[in-house]
Amino acid sequence: MYLFGAGIFGLGTPELIIIAVILLVLFGPKQIPKLGRMFGSTMKEVKSGIDEATKELQSEGDADASNAGCTACGAELAPGAAFCNSCGAEQVAAIAAGCISCGAELAPGAAFCNECGAQQEKKADA
């Protein structure tokens, strides 16, 4: 149990003081501000890289969903369209097919889930 409480990264005050003294002895008082700036800029670059990668992955996912085309004629489809407006072909791949119980991917028209065996609801034909 810490006498002075938990500090940064779960380190207590005594541990942080020891680390500061070691850094001071190894690098000297003139180098520590430079090391701090270098560490800060590195952390900023890492954070911006993570943010950029996240945005790129999200935009790729959005682009994949918005570029859906008809499986028969290749015409552009409205999101979630079950039929093509150009040729009238049924878009089986466009219909989200996931198990109602476990969410596993289902084969088109499957009555039961291969993963958990749950019976799937049939959609009412319009």
Residue 17 lies in a domain: yes
Query: 17-47: per-residue pLDDT in tens?
Result: 998 899 889 988 888 889 889 989 999 999 9
Residue 116 lies in a domain: no
Q: What is the CATH number of the domain that holds 17?
A: 1.20.5
Number of domains in the chain: 1
User: pLDDT over 70 for what percent of the chain?
Assistant: 78
Residue 75 lies in a domain: no
Tell me, what's the pLDDT at 10? 78
Residue 73 lies in a domain: no
For 59, the domain range is: 8-66
| Alpha-carbon gap, residue 106 to 95, rounded angstroms | 11
Instruction: Report pTM.
Output: 0.37
Residue 24 lies in a domain: yes
Residue 39 lies in a domain: yes
